[in-house]
Amino acid sequence: MASAPLARSVGEAVAPSPRRPAPMLRAVVRRADVVRWLGRTGAVIPLAALVFILVVLLIESLPAIRYNGLHFFTTTVWNEGVSYNALPVHSGGVYHMSGAAFGALPEIVGTLLTSLIALIVAVPVSIGAALTIVERLPRRLASLVGIFLELLAGIPSVIVGLFGALTFGPFIAHHITPVIARNVPDVPVLSFFRGQPGSGEGLLTSGLVLGIMIIPIIASTTRDLVRQVPILPREGAIALGMSDAQCARRVTLPWVGPGIVGAVVLGLGRALGETMAVAMTCGVALSTVPGNIYTTMTTIAATMFNYLDTAFLDGTGFAVRTIAELGLVLLVITMVVNIAARWLVRRVSGIALPVGRGV
Amino acid sequence: MSERAGGRPTGARVASGGHGASGRHGGASRSPEGMWPPVSRRRKAGNLVFWLLCALALALVIAPTLWLAVDIIGKAVGNWQWNVLVTRTDQLQGGLLQPLLGTLVIASGAILIASIVSILTGMYLSEYATGPLRSVLRGAYEVLAGIPSIVLGLVGYVTLVVGLHWGYGLLPAVLVLSVLAIPYITKATESSLAQVPTSYREGADALGLPPSWTMRRIVLKSAVPGIVTGVLIATAIIIGETAPLIYTSNFSDVNPSLAHVTHLAVPSLPYMVYYFSFLAQPIKHANILSADAALVLLVFVLVLILLGRVIVAWSRRHAE
Amino acid sequence: MAKKFRLAYTAAAVIPLSVLAAACGSNGNSPSSSGSSTPAASSAKMVGAALPSAPNSAAASVTETGSTLLYPLVSAWAADYQKQFTKVTITTGATGSGTGITDASTGTVNIGASDAYLSASERAANPTLLNIPLAISAQQVNYNVPGLKTGLKLDGKILAQIYSGKITKWNDSQIAALNPGVSLPGTTIVPLRRVDSSGDTFLFTSYLNAQDPSVWTSSDVGTSVSWPSVSGELAEQGNGGMVTGCSTTKGCIAYIGVSYETQTNADHLGQALLQNAAGNFVAPTASTIVAAASGMTSKTPPDETLSMINSPGAQSYPIINYEYAIVNTKQSDGVTAEDIRAFLVWDLTTGQSASKYLDAVNFQPLPAAVVTLSENQIKKIGA
């Protein structure tokens, strides 16, 4: 891009446009500086939006941060207070309903657990699929699968949620989880898989649905990375006598490892913030830290969606401020994850990650 | 154990593997049959298991998606009637007309605003900005893409719906969704501009053409297919966004009206998918409308993404 | 470069901050700034009772949102009303009672629909809001227990213990004691509760509290309460979610608005007979609901804020309620205020036709005395 400044100086040396005489306005627009300034104004908008979002959430949630304190991160109660039989109170300058108490531990744990399940499902599947696409499929078929991944990334999350809540969730609850729940031994860690299999709304369903949703990000990024692995080291590995499975495991994947980590973290960012699909499949238990993998639970984003109408009923407005605090927590988590992913990948492999859903 | 043996099929594989330039010279490395000692069974089995697992992984990517598509389409197609597209929603029955219009108007507005901002941003970042400014601005839109849409919706609610007393309406929804779309279009603009060959610019410079002319007539023109594809994909993404709409456009049974961009809740397809579904309304005709709305959304997404693909393919063919 | 960099940064910080300042500034002004003007053009029509039978002749629109229970009814009203008065546009929405109340108080919509009357905090925050009954609804208790037919007898004591996790099996001795001769399976009880704020939760918890204040304390009464933790509990979104959840969960028990009776019957959910104040077990039918409503008519105060739980009378159904329109007495302009009054009056007269409107959602019409109270409140809606 070094040519850009150079081009400008050359262009200015040569007088106006060679052919067509232009009206005044055009002549002004034609000046590179105008384009440049317009561009700069536009380019500042995303940054301004980002700062704006942060500032707004911070201001909106300040009273909630003050009142909820650190208990917000350690307690499980979720109660906007007594609405009918007591008057709202002021405490420490914060106006709220009497008995209001909010602890987001279930939300935070739920967010992390669903995302963890999603990663456990999506990472191996995506990497395996990416290797198959690049190394095994004929080119035509590979590009067909590529379109398929793009479509999967584009499916609205409300539709995935609909599928998860009405078809997928009940299916696994009736045919798969009862078998697992009964047969898993009661030992630490595995006991998390024991218990009432439930109706299909809960941690497992939400995690799996999230897994489906982040596969396109990880798979398509990994595919692009694997395609960029130079042929020489791989030929070298084969010349040394590796099988192609060994070559894929020991040469190709390590070669693109940091990139894959970046893609995974990007997928994680999406899983953490996904709203509709989880809101429709999690069972919305606002004050339950999941005791097993089948229990109903909630995530930060799902609570923000499902709890909104209740929050409106708090005439003091404190419940909405608490939602804003939840939003701030989610924003900070996803921003840290996102920035970390991009920093990591730029640092190590110099490629740029896709944005958003990875299409 | 003959370590080398497994290499034979790999050599062939790498050679015919689907990546352009490298495919060609692989043929030379292929060795005649029988040159190698026999392959150990364990090694063969290991290789087979690895690739079987990989194939299984691919199947696990494809199967749930197909299941989802068949499920959603199947629910709608059985009761599909073309006139739902032009029939008004009446309470919990009727057609999809108002939500369909609502979605189209909201998405067009958001894409219009987002395109202007994004193309300027992409152009500036690719052609003018340098150094730390560039990485800060670029980082900003990339991080913006990672912000959960529900958070954007909440901010829109706090500032626009309540703060500016706009109430629910088209305008807050359009503004919030445009923020969602900006990163996709900016990314597309930036990378398509970066792909315009330097020789074009240098050629134009050598001919003494002014840089703004070069920018408009040569650089932007060759980047157009990529930008359009980005716009299409961004449209596909925001058209199905639901969570921010509950905070901004909300839901009602009116046609969207450009005369009332504020203070008039507007229905939309994604919200209808949720609100009329069996989860919220155990009423059969409402559920059918929800399924119909889901199908229409899926078709929108499909068409937009395929159209993007076609444009990319077409422009590649016409590039040379 | 460094200078320009700083400039961009400053702009990035200043632009959002100034927008924010503008937002906060306008946030401070209450929407009542235009309140002092006297009703001029519309006053001529308001001679005698300020209750217009037709909307203002100027074209105007009235917006409504809120309770999902009221949505079908208000939509049906709005459709017919607009056929009769073509100048008026009435838009309806279904977003939940909480949104309805908030939107009515902020002026986002003109009419908020709510299943519950205003709470203390809402009254404190918005002294100009009215709650005006439009119809009478009731709540049924449903269950999905294989082998258990409809008509199981339950009372508030047992329900309170189920919802606080003290009774966990369907063959519990207390349930058996109320239902001699019924063979009860040993299925685990899965209590379903609403996650969203809801008049239904308010009604149900009020009933539990009214029947047994020792198990269910008054601080646990509300549109959304912090439920005692019960293993296997499920939370659902909206009445629809309750029906869905109950029909797919064996052993469940749920409280559902009577509007959904058609669906609960279609899903073969059992409907409980609930114990009323007189000690009888009654089902939510038109006659028991009307009996309960008439028992409460004389107790209704002028602001119509009233819990109708445990109405006296041998055949009164214990969980009934008024469905409310939440309206701000200070509307933005006189024409809109007049149109709101006209629409609400129409709802309370023409709109009370059972066969035409109310039967579809299993609501009952308001007693005449309550209609008068509602009309008195409607008169207060101005600009």
Domain segments of chain B: what residues? 42-78, 83-319
Task: Give me the pLDDT at residue C247, please.
Answer: 87
C2 within domain boundaries: no
- C166 and C31, same structural domain? no
**Residues in chain B, total:** 320
User: Could you give the CA distance from residue B264 to residue B168 in angstroms, rounded to a whole number?
Assistant: 6
User: Could you give the CA distance from residue C93 to residue B271 in angstroms, rounded to a whole number?
Assistant: 12
Interface test with A, best of C6, C102, C190, C195 (most A CBs within 10 A): C195
Interface test with C, best of A57, A78, A312, A322 (most C CBs within 10 A): A312
Amino acid at A77: V
Q: What are phi and psi of C206, to 5 degrees?
A: -60, -40
User: Could you give the CA distance from residue A171 to residue A177 in angstroms, rounded to a whole number?
Assistant: 9
For residue C244, give the nearest of B163, B250, B278 by CB distance: B278
Q: What angle, 0 to 180 degrees and rounded to 10, lies between the N-to-C axes of helices B41-77 and A105-135?
A: 120
**Neighbors of chain C with 3 or more C-beta pairs under 8 Å:** A, B
Q: Give me the residues of A, 271-290, that contact C with CB < 8 A.
A: 283-288
Task: Give me the pLDDT at residue C294, please.
Answer: 93
**Neighbors of chain A with 3 or more C-beta pairs under 8 Å:** B, C
Q: Does A296 touch chain C (CB under 8 A)?
A: yes
- C158 and C110, same structural domain? no
The yes-or-no verdict on residue B271 having pLDDT over 70 is: yes
Q: What angle, 0 to 180 degrees and rounded to 10, lies between the N-to-C axes of helices C71-84 and C334-348?
A: 110
Q: What angle, 0 to 180 degrees and rounded to 10, lies between the N-to-C axes of helices B131-146 and A318-349?
A: 130
Task: Give me the pLDDT at residue C47, please.
Answer: 36
Tokens coding C271: 């409907």
C194 within domain boundaries: yes
User: Could you give the CA distance from residue B15 to residue B24 in angstroms, rounded to a whole number?
Assistant: 7
Instruction: Look at A313 and C95 and tell me if their CB atoms are within 8 Å.
Output: no
Task: Give me the pLDDT at residue C84, please.
Answer: 92
Which of C266, C299, C332 finishes a domain?
C299
Q: Does B114 touch chain A (CB under 8 A)?
A: no
Residue A276 distance to chain C (closest CA, Å):
13
Tell me how far apart the terminal alpha carbons of chain C are, to the nearest angstrom.
57
Higher-pLDDT residue of B56, A80: B56
Residue B236 distance to chain C (closest CA, Å):
26
Q: Annotate A64-107 with DSSP letters as a single string.
A: HHHHHGGGGGT---EE---SSSS--EEETTEEE-TT-EE--HHH
Q: Does B50 touch chain C (CB under 8 A)?
A: no
Instruction: Look at B147 and A239 and tell me if their CB atoms are within 8 Å.
Output: no
**Of the candidates C153, C236, C244, C143, the residue with the CA atom closest to the CA atom of residue C188:** C143
Q: What are phi and psi of B266, to 5 degrees?
A: -120, 135
The secondary structure of residue A248, as a DSSP letter, is I
CB B232 within 8 A of CB B305: yes
Task: Give me the pLDDT at residue B269, please.
Answer: 95
For residue B159, the chain C residues in CB contact (below 8 A) are 19-20, 23
The interface pTM score, or ipTM, of the predicted complex is 0.85
Q: Annotate A258-296 with DSSP letters as a single string.
A: HHHHHHHHHHHHHHHH--HHHHHHSB--TT---SSTTS-
CATH superfamily of B83-319: MetI-like (1.10.3720.10)
- C145 and C101, same structural domain? no
Q: Does B51 touch chain A (CB under 8 A)?
A: yes
Region of poorest pLDDT, from A290-299, C137-146, C308-317: A290-299
Instruction: Look at A316 and C245 and tell me if their CB atoms are within 8 Å.
Output: no
User: Could you give the CA distance from residue C26 to residue B158 in angstroms, rounded to a whole number?
Assistant: 12
User: Could you give the CA distance from residue C112 to residue B149 in angstroms, rounded to a whole number?
Assistant: 27
- C162 and C72, same structural domain? no
Average pLDDT value over all residues in chain A: 84
Region of poorest pLDDT, from A16-20, A249-253, B246-250: A16-20
Amino acid at C117: Y
- C174 and C78, same structural domain? no
**Neighbors of chain B with 3 or more C-beta pairs under 8 Å:** A, C
- C355 and C257, same structural domain? no
| CB neighbourhood size of B210 (10 A) | 24
**Of the candidates C311, C336, C281, the residue with the CA atom closest to the CA atom of residue C34:** C336
Instruction: Look at B252 and C75 and tell me if their CB atoms are within 8 Å.
Output: no
Task: Give me the pLDDT at residue B35, please.
Answer: 62
CB A333 within 8 A of CB A341: no
Residue C344, CA distances (Å) to A327, C80, C135, C319, C324 in order: 38, 13, 12, 25, 11
For residue A156, give the nearest of B10, B22, B242 by CB distance: B242
User: Could you give the CA distance from residue C98 to residue C76 in angstroms, rounded to a whole number?
Assistant: 22
User: Could you give the CA distance from residue A250 to residue A243 in angstroms, rounded to a whole number?
Assistant: 10
C304 within domain boundaries: no
CB C68 within 8 A of CB A278: no
The yes-or-no verdict on residue C296 having pLDDT over 90 is: yes
- C292 and C171, same structural domain? yes
Please report which confidence band the pLDDT of residue C289 belongs to, taking 50, 70 and 90 as the band edges: very high
Please report which confidence band the pLDDT of residue B320 belongs to, taking 50, 70 and 90 as the band edges: low
Q: Does B157 touch chain C (CB under 8 A)?
A: no
Q: Does B120 touch chain C (CB under 8 A)?
A: no
The sign one gets for the Cα dihedral C74, C75, C79, C80 is negative
3-state secondary structure of C281: strand
Which domains, and CATH codes, for chain A?
Answer: 101-348 (1.10.3720.10)
CB A164 within 8 A of CB A205: yes
The sign one gets for the Cα dihedral A244, A250, A252, A257 is positive
Q: Does A97 touch chain C (CB under 8 A)?
A: yes
Region of poorest pLDDT, from A152-156, A324-328, C11-15, C23-27: C23-27
**Residues in chain A, total:** 359
Range of the domain at C118: 9-136+323-378
- C142 and C131, same structural domain? no
Interface test with C, best of A75, A280, A313 (most C CBs within 10 A): A313
Tokens coding C317: 């159904």
Q: Does B199 touch chain A (CB under 8 A)?
A: no
Q: Which residues, in sequence order, are bridge partners of residue C62?
A: C90
| CB neighbourhood size of A241 (10 A) | 16
pLDDT tens figures, A296-314: 889 999 999 988 888 888 8
Q: Annotate chain B with DSSP letters as a single string.
A: --TTTTHHHHHHHHHHSS-HHHHHHHHHH---TT-SPPPPHHHHHHHHHHHHHHHHHHHHHHHHHHHHHHHHHHHHHTT--GGGGTSPEETTEE-SHHHHHHHHHHHHHHHHHHHHHHHHHHHIIIII--HHHHHHHHHHHHHHHHS-HHHHHHHHIIIIIIIT---SSHHHHHHHHHHHHHHHHHHHHHHHHHHS-HHHHHHHHHTT--HHHIIIIIIIHHHHHHHHHHHHHHHHHHHT--HHHHHHT---SS---TT-SSSS----HHHHHHHTSTTT---HHHHHHHHHHHHHHHHHHHHHHHHHHHHHHHHHHHH-
Total count of domains within chain C: 2
3-state secondary structure of C139: strand
C310 burial level (CB within 10 Å; 0-12, 13-18, 19+): buried
Instruction: Look at C237 and B131 and tell me if their CB atoms are within 8 Å.
Output: no
Q: What is the CATH number of the domain that holds C82?
A: 3.40.190.10
Q: Which residues, at least 6 apart from B50, have a Cβ–Cβ distance to it below 8 Å?
A: A245, A248, A249
Mean pLDDT of C106-125: 86
Instruction: Look at C125 and A47 and tell me if their CB atoms are within 8 Å.
Output: no
pLDDT tens figures, C39-75: 333 333 343 346 788 888 887 888 888 887 888 899 8
User: Could you give the CA distance from residue B180 to residue B166 in angstroms, rounded to a whole number?
Assistant: 20
Share of chain A above pLDDT 90, in %: 37
How many contacts (CB atoms, under 8 Å) link B and C?
A: 101
For residue C243, the chain A residues in CB contact (below 8 A) are none
For residue A156, give the nearest of B43, B213, B297 by CB distance: B297
CB A235 within 8 A of CB A284: no
Q: Does A107 touch chain C (CB under 8 A)?
A: no
Beta-sheet pairing, C252-257 with C234-236: unpaired
pLDDT tens figures, B175-229: 999 999 999 999 999 888 888 888 888 888 888 887 777 777 778 788 888 999 9
Q: What angle, 0 to 180 degrees and rounded to 10, lies between the N-to-C axes of helices A32-68 and A318-349?
A: 130
Average pLDDT value over all residues in chain B: 83
pLDDT tens figures, C329-369: 998 888 899 999 999 999 999 999 988 999 988 999 999 99
Instruction: Look at B250 and C5 and tell me if their CB atoms are within 8 Å.
Output: no
User: Could you give the CA distance from residue C326 to residue C65 in angstroms, rounded to a whole number?
Assistant: 10
- C351 and C266, same structural domain? no
Mean pLDDT of B51-65: 90
- C182 and C45, same structural domain? no
pLDDT tens figures, C310-329: 999 899 999 999 999 999 99
- C46 and C150, same structural domain? no
Tokens coding C10: 């400053």
Task: Give me the pLDDT at residue A259, please.
Answer: 84
Q: Annotate A32-60 with DSSP letters as a single string.
A: HHHHHHHHHHHHHHHHHHHHHHHHHHHHH
- C192 and C249, same structural domain? yes
